[in-house]
A and B are shown apart, each in its own frame.
Chain A
Amino acid sequence: MAEVRYQEASRIYPGTEEPAVNQLNLDIGDGELLVLVGPSGSGKSTALRMLAGLETVNMGSIWINEVDVTLKPPQDRDIAMVFQNYALYPSMTVGDNMGFALKQQKVPKAERAERVAEAARILDLTEYLDRKPKNLSGGQRQRVAMGRAIVRQPQVFLMDEPLSNLDAKLRVQTRTELADLQARLGVTTVYVTHDQVEAMTMGHRVAVLNFGVLQQVDAPKTLYAAPANKFVAGFIGSPAMNLFDAENVDGKPGIAGVAVPINDAVAAALKGQSLDKVSVGVRPEHLTLGTAGIEGEVTVVEELGSESFVHVRTDHRGEATNIVVRDRGETQTARGDRVKIDFDGPLHVFGEDGQRVTA
């Protein structure tokens, strides 16, 4: 069991100017499942590989259990990693794949077989132990990769998009199993994904990266309810938050000619900032179709059964702008309708610097 700490850790790839990971500070608690999320190229894999010892840390340090491992090779860090393509050993059977790390540690054969059998039982792989990886389905391979990690009982699990090669249904199912397995084993886990739904559902805490810079680390709920900046606000949530550069409506920030209802504290915090440089965001479920508010025309209705998302075109700052509103399932609203959008819930206001204006 272990705690992990990134301390001002940076990685600059040879031949590049910009750091792929820029002064990352992150504390991961014992037994925690921390999800690293961000768009493609944001440095998630790099951050994970730095912890694994597969990438040099150019500046700063990395600690596992209060031991500085920055200069240690991967084999001395007692970590297990699940790769995106699983990286199974093609010439070995499933059993040998799972027992490989134990063999390197010179664990006696009998104990090795026992631990492999135990892991295989947990992961439902018992009948495949003698097969080669190429004769397995994608989902089974994924489980072998997991098995290879859990057999070792390591200090830390590292997972780099372990579900991205599975089909959508299996991905949802495996995601639950994986979170459950992690909770049972209680091993500190760093989990990389670009899928924010995966991040929200699995993570005890979620760290959002962009351009190698950590944007926010928080529990999923907090991340959703109080995004620290514009990037996080736009990244977390599906469908995405409606996020606009505001316009000045009678000294208040507004959307499409309608002032948004902000409280006095926010108004006070915005004092002195130019209103058309601040941003306002509101999630689709915090808008309703009503009798007053922002006027527009329905362009698309996405009917999902239990709910529907209505896309409304409005005129905001002189441009056609799309606003998404959540409506009930089997909505009567249809393409071409003229509607009015009312605010019904929390608003997010970001100052000129893109940071959240806290009320």
Chain B
Amino acid sequence: MSAVVVDQSKNGGTPTSDDLARAAAIKRMERREGWKRRLPVLPALIYTILVTQIPFLFTLFYSLTDWRIDKVEPRQFIGVENYASLSGDKFFRDAAWISVQMTVMAVLLSLIVGTGLAILLDRKFFGQGFIRTLLITPFLVMPVVAGLMWKLQMFNSTFGIIGWVMNGLGFDSIEFATKYPLASVVVVLVWQWSPFMMLIVLAGLQGQDQSVLEAARVDGASSWGTFRQITLPQLRPFLELGTLLGAIYLIQVYDHIEVIVGGQPGAKNLPFYIAQRSIGGGNVFGLASAYSIVVVIASIIIANIGLRVLSNLLEDNS
């Protein structure tokens, strides 16, 4: 609050030295107030800088060197050479394209499924709490476990449920994860992330003013009309939040890919590729660092674009 009120009505508008001293005192007080508010977050800030920003700076530094494990000489500064070689790397481009497809599909599908579930849960019925807990469980399963479950119990052509159902319908069972590696990974990601989207959308639904929905009914809107014209625009910030958080997490998926499809080129995204090139056996740390820097920047850009696109989509709708 800036409350520097210098009363200029007396002595013809010229503030006296008294007034000025008072204003200065108020300013000092405000500064002290500011520090009082900042101080408590300082430890958290320092911690964050230590564990995220400093490693990032190291990575930035490595990305400008030729560090690799099979060279005897000490690592040397080579400028942007690593970045330059990036454009010629076909595997990088493939991985980038896979990353984009995987993230976009997984985020959109889990958002749609999650919204559907949220709408079903947003009404009172017997056993509501129990069913909600059941629906949330996939999100609580460790990524590796989720991957293994799907790989062995669902996709596997010999013991898998999908194969069993297909056999039952008279089709030949196929090795789903080998034939459709990208789709397999996306299916598991959607399975794991729909509950997360559901929770976010549910919060949005339950925060709605009931009387607004009643007003829409009295005004003659159908259920679908009410959802499209009233609920959806109000859900917008929640959908945006879900997209943003989902994109941030899903762009760096590694475990599922490792477990379900291993190194198959059809589902090798950027994090997987970068890991392969460095600690995963490639051991070209300088190059891999450059790649990850690019990925971080790209993620930020993609998350922003995603958000923009979604906003426009909803804007047109209302």
Helix, strand, loop or mixed for chain B's interface?
Answer: helix
For the complex, give the distance between the alpha carbons of A87 and B218 in Å.
Answer: 11
What are 14 inter-chain pairs, A to B, with CB distance below 8 A?
A53-B217, A75-B217, A75-B218, A75-B221, A79-B218, A81-B214, A85-B211, A87-B212, A89-B212, A92-B233, A100-B229, A101-B219, A104-B219, A148-B219
Cβ of B220 under 8 Å from chain A: yes
Q: Which A residues are CB-close (under 8 A) to B221? A: 75, 100, 104
Cβ of A83 under 8 Å from chain B: yes
Q: Which A residues are CB-close (under 8 A) to B225? A: 104
Cβ of B89 under 8 Å from chain A: no
Cβ of A74 under 8 Å from chain B: yes
For the complex, give the distance between the alpha carbons of A255 and B15 in Å.
Answer: 69
Identity of the chain A residue whose Cβ is nearest the Cβ of B210 in the assembled complex: A87
Query: Which residues of chain A from 142 to 189 have any CB-CB distance to chain B below 8 Å in the complex?
Result: 148, 152
Residue from A84, A89, A152 in contact with B230 in the complex, judged by beta carbons closer than 8 Å: A89
Identity of the chain B residue whose Cβ is nearest the Cβ of A73 in the assembled complex: B217
| CB pair A54 B218 closer than 8 Å | yes
Q: Which B residues are CB-close (under 8 A) to A85? A: 209, 211
| CB pair B218 A89 closer than 8 Å | no
Query: Which residues of chain A from 36 to 95 have any CB-CB distance to chain B below 8 Å in the complex?
Result: 52-54, 73-75, 79-81, 83-85, 87-92
Query: Which residues of chain A from 325 to 348 have any CB-CB distance to chain B below 8 Å in the complex?
Result: none
| CB pair A87 B217 closer than 8 Å | no
Return B260 CB to nearest CB of chain A, in Å: 41
Q: Which A residues are CB-close (under 8 A) to B211? A: 83-85, 87
For the complex, give the distance between the alpha carbons of A89 and B233 in Å.
Answer: 10
Query: Which residues of chain A from 75 to 126 have any CB-CB distance to chain B below 8 Å in the complex?
Result: 75, 79-81, 83-85, 87-92, 100-101, 104-105
Write the B205-238 contact mask toward A (1 if CB under 8 angstroms, else 0).
0000101101111111110010001100110100
| Contacts beyond the supplied A75-B219, A91-B230, A148-B219: 5 A-B pairs with Cβ under 8 Å | A75-B217, A75-B221, A79-B218, A85-B211, A104-B222
Write the B133-157 contact mask toward A (1 if CB under 8 angstroms, else 0).
0000000000000000000000000
Identity of the chain B residue whose Cβ is nearest the Cβ of A92 in the assembled complex: B318
Identity of the chain A residue whose Cβ is nearest the Cβ of B221 in the assembled complex: A104
The 3 tightest CB contacts between A and B, nearest first, are A91-B233, A101-B219, A87-B211
Q: Which B residues are CB-close (under 8 A) to A74? A: 214, 217-218
Q: Which B residues are CB-close (under 8 A) to A75? A: 217-222
Identity of the chain A residue whose Cβ is nearest the Cβ of B211 in the assembled complex: A87
Q: Which B residues are CB-close (under 8 A) to A53? A: 217-218
Helix, strand, loop or mixed for chain A's interface?
Answer: loop
Q: Which A residues are CB-close (under 8 A) to B215? A: 81, 83, 87-89, 148
Query: Which residues of chain B from 227 to 262 have any CB-CB distance to chain A below 8 Å in the complex?
Result: 229-230, 233-234, 236
Return A222 CB to nearest CB of chain B, in Å: 32
For the complex, give the distance between the alpha carbons of A73 and B219 in Å.
Answer: 11
For the complex, give the distance between the alpha carbons of A152 and B233 in Å.
Answer: 24
Return A2 CB to nearest CB of chain B, in Å: 15
User: Beyond A87-B209, A87-B214, A90-B212, is A104–B220 a contact (Cβ under 8 Å)?
Assistant: yes
Q: Which A residues are CB-close (under 8 A) to B220? A: 75, 101, 104-105
For the complex, give the distance between the alpha carbons of A45 and B315 in Å.
Answer: 35
For the complex, give the distance between the alpha carbons of A31 and B13 in Å.
Answer: 62
Residue from A79, A80, A89, A105 in contact with B216 in the complex, judged by beta carbons closer than 8 Å: A89
User: Beyond A89-B230, A91-B230, is A83–B214 a contact (Cβ under 8 Å)?
Assistant: yes
Query: Which residues of chain A from 295 to 350 have any CB-CB distance to chain B below 8 Å in the complex?
Result: none
Identity of the chain A residue whose Cβ is nearest the Cβ of B235 in the assembled complex: A91
Q: Which A residues are CB-close (under 8 A) to B216? A: 89, 100
Q: Which B residues are CB-close (under 8 A) to A105? A: 220
Residue from B217, B219, B318 in contact with A91 in the complex, judged by beta carbons closer than 8 Å: B318
Q: Which A residues are CB-close (under 8 A) to B218? A: 52-54, 74-75, 79-81
For the complex, give the distance between the alpha carbons of A3 and B149 in Å.
Answer: 66
For the complex, give the distance between the alpha carbons of A73 and B214 in Å.
Answer: 11
For the complex, give the distance between the alpha carbons of A73 and B218 in Å.
Answer: 9
| CB pair A88 B212 closer than 8 Å | yes
For the complex, give the distance between the alpha carbons of A90 and B220 in Å.
Answer: 18
Identity of the chain A residue whose Cβ is nearest the Cβ of B233 in the assembled complex: A91
For the complex, give the distance between the alpha carbons of A264 and B230 in Å.
Answer: 66
For the complex, give the distance between the alpha carbons of A130 and B318 in Å.
Answer: 14
For the complex, give the distance between the alpha carbons of A87 and B226 in Å.
Answer: 14
For the complex, give the distance between the alpha carbons of A80 and B229 in Å.
Answer: 19
| CB pair A91 B234 closer than 8 Å | yes
Return A298 CB to nearest CB of chain B, in Å: 46
Q: Which B residues are CB-close (under 8 A) to A79? A: 218
For the complex, give the distance between the alpha carbons of A75 and B226 in Å.
Answer: 12
Q: Which A residues are CB-close (under 8 A) to B209? A: 85, 87, 90
Residue from A54, A90, A100 in contact with B219 in the complex, judged by beta carbons closer than 8 Å: A100
Identity of the chain A residue whose Cβ is nearest the Cβ of B219 in the assembled complex: A101
For the complex, give the distance between the alpha carbons of A87 and B211 in Å.
Answer: 6
User: Beyond A83-B211, A85-B209, is A90–B217 a contact (Cβ under 8 Å)?
Assistant: no
Identity of the chain A residue whose Cβ is nearest the Cβ of B232 in the assembled complex: A91
